[in-house]
A and B are shown apart, each in its own frame.
Chain A
Amino acid sequence: MLQTYRYTEYPHRISEDQKSGKTAHRPVVIVGGGPVGLTAAIDLRLKGVPVVLLNRAATVSIGSRAVCYSKRALEIWDRLGCAGRMIEKGVVWKTGRLFNGEREVFNFDLLPEPGHKIPAFINLQQYHLEDILIGRATELGVDIRWQEEVVGIQSAADRVALTVSTPSGNYAVAADWVIAADGSKSAIRDFLGLDFFGQVFKDRFLITDVVMKNDFPPERWFWFDPPFNPGRSTLLHKQSDDLWRIDFQLGWDADPKEEMKPERVKPRLKAMLGDNVDFEIEWVSVYTYQCRRLERFRHGRILFAGDSAHQVSPFGARGANSGVQDTDNLIWKLKLVIDRLAPDTLLDSYDEERVAAADINLMNSTRSTDFIVPKSAMSRVLRDSVLELAQDHAFARPLINSGRLSLPATYGSSALNTPDEASFNRGPIPGAPCPDAPVTAADGKPEWLLNRLGDAFTLLFLGPAENRTVKGCKSVVVGEDVFDTDGLIKERYDGDQTAVYLIRPDQHVVGRWKQFDQAAIEAALQKAKGRQGIAK
């Protein structure tokens, strides 16, 4: 029983589909009700697609799981209308401090510049995050089916047949599309017999959630070799409700059952926090981790997203944050395909773009792990030398790797992009996500650029558009629709007033031009919809 949180139990309700006794037909069924499944559901509803979401559990995520949510994930949730509640409930932070022994050797600021609506990171317990997402999904009419589990799946060319198990018996449902967001132990992945390749890391970590009132700053603190955990690492994060998350590296030989006993955990925490700090233990668990992914995320009409598709070590907050970028990438494409405005091969670009993003996450996560948990005597000597040199010599500090925190993916080599013809001095390259900037609306109200870009194909004119438009694109004109409040659009895109950016519904750049070029932009739009070479 947690002191700071009470779980709502959601009863199983017999759906129309189950009652009918016939196989119902649904455009999209999402399997899994974690942050990724719920985000996909919300995005689809906002685009007018009916959604059934099957959740095996009777409540939200149990215990201490995801904690850190990145700026990019929050920008996506802001577009979906629920980031405000998360930021309000969460703990905003942007500074990380690294200690070697007791001495601070380095610190970093993850968002050193002003002029962004969304903070670098918030920390929030996963159950709070899911509560907010469930609230939003329910407002939008997502059909969440609690305590329902897929026990059989059969793919055909035109649909996927699912057998669903419920507390009141099984029923069948057919879906045009299935989103498998059913986590690292994905049953759908198992049903399809897909390999989940990667690396297992030989170490164990103790997670503790501790309730305590103190005035520690809301920062990420990471110790190498602290006196209270000699030879190993420890990580501290503040969460909401005065709950603190502390991870202790235990080593591979540790006995998880022993380490979880209160008589082992309490002295550990006292050694770290000091005798004068009052705390209560709310959660204890021991975990190991893996870095691995599916070879492909699209399997016909079944699309894998989040941990079912890729799994990383927790250093760097690349789990949930990449899962949310998966659905952000997927849903607009799926909507176009459902509406027959794009060929279904557009979904192959989901696979291509998000596999590339997963590889970057896996690379960073593996590198962090190599630094935190050196695998050989030589790796350890190198690591310890970096930490020693970093105390007095600046060059060694950026080598310290306690987790490289999640950054938004850039789909730089995507087939959907139209490469630059002219050279731009700055600004997001094709495939990169759009940076935010404060703007002033035509009526004088302060707003944010990303909110104005919305979730449709958009042309961002950096200066007067002179009534030029492209069919199928919304326009946002700087100097007409919005004004560049602090000159940051000019700084973050390109100073040139005649330049135009074509932006995808997930706010990644398709292409950009120094001068408006109707034919080039129309061709780029077709290409971004996967319609290159297909007659209009």
Chain B
Amino acid sequence: MKLNTDPNMDNPDDFYEMLIEFHRNLSDEESVKANAKLVLLLVNHIGDRDVIAEAMAIAASKTETAK
């Protein structure tokens, strides 16, 4: 596995707040589009097919929610 899924953010709360702020005044439609652009930018920045494929596999898998 080339994708790093270990904690890699020095202050996770700062990053999470950035994401919340990123969407703060957007409509749902605008949010979806902004997310898509964000993904494209990060995909380009990472530039490694294998890493992206691994991330996609995790993101698409349906986690069974314990009930």
Contact = CB atoms under 8 A, between A and B. Distances in A.
Nearest to B8: A395
17 contacts: A100-B65, A100-B66, A367-B13, A367-B16, A378-B26, A382-B20, A388-B65, A389-B63, A393-B58, A395-B7, A395-B8, A399-B9, A399-B12, A399-B13, A399-B16, A401-B16, A404-B13
Interface residues of A, number: 28
A2 to B, nearest CB: 36
User: Which of under 10, 10 to 19, 20 to 34, or 35 or more describes the interface residues of B?
Assistant: 20 to 34
Contacts of A266: none
Interface in A365-391: 367, 370-371, 376-379, 382, 386, 388-389, 391
A103 B66 CA distance: 6
A420 interface: no
B67 A101 contact: yes
Instruction: Please name the 7 residue pairs, one residue from A and one from B, whose CB atoms are nearest each other, closest first.
Output: A103-B66, A101-B66, A388-B63, A378-B31, A393-B5, A398-B12, A378-B23
Nearest to B26: A378
A392 B66 contact: no
Interface in B18-34: 19-20, 23-24, 26, 28, 31
Given A370-B20, A382-B20, A392 B63 contact: yes
A382 B16 CA distance: 9
Nearest to B4: A395
A394 B5 contact: yes
A377 B28 contact: yes
B23 A370 contact: no
Contacts of B66: 100-103
A395 B13 contact: no
Contacts of B63: 388-389, 391-392
A383 to B, nearest CB: 9
A26 to B, nearest CB: 44
Interface of A: 100-103, 225, 227, 364, 367, 370-371, 376-379, 382, 386, 388-389, 391-395, 397-399, 401, 404
Contacts of A227: 67
A66 B48 CA distance: 51
Given A100-B66, A102-B66, A389-B58, A397 B7 contact: yes
Contacts of B67: 101-102, 227
Contacts of B58: 389, 392-393
Given A394-B7, A395-B7, A399-B12, A379 B20 contact: yes
A378 B16 contact: no
Nearest to B63: A388
Given A386-B16, A395-B4, 20 more contacts: A100-B65, A100-B66, A225-B65, A364-B13, A367-B17, A370-B17, A370-B20, A376-B23, A379-B23, A382-B20, A392-B63, A393-B58, A394-B5, A394-B7, A395-B5, A395-B6, A398-B7, A399-B13, A401-B13, A404-B13
Contacts of B31: 376-378
B33 to A, nearest CB: 11
Contacts of A386: 16
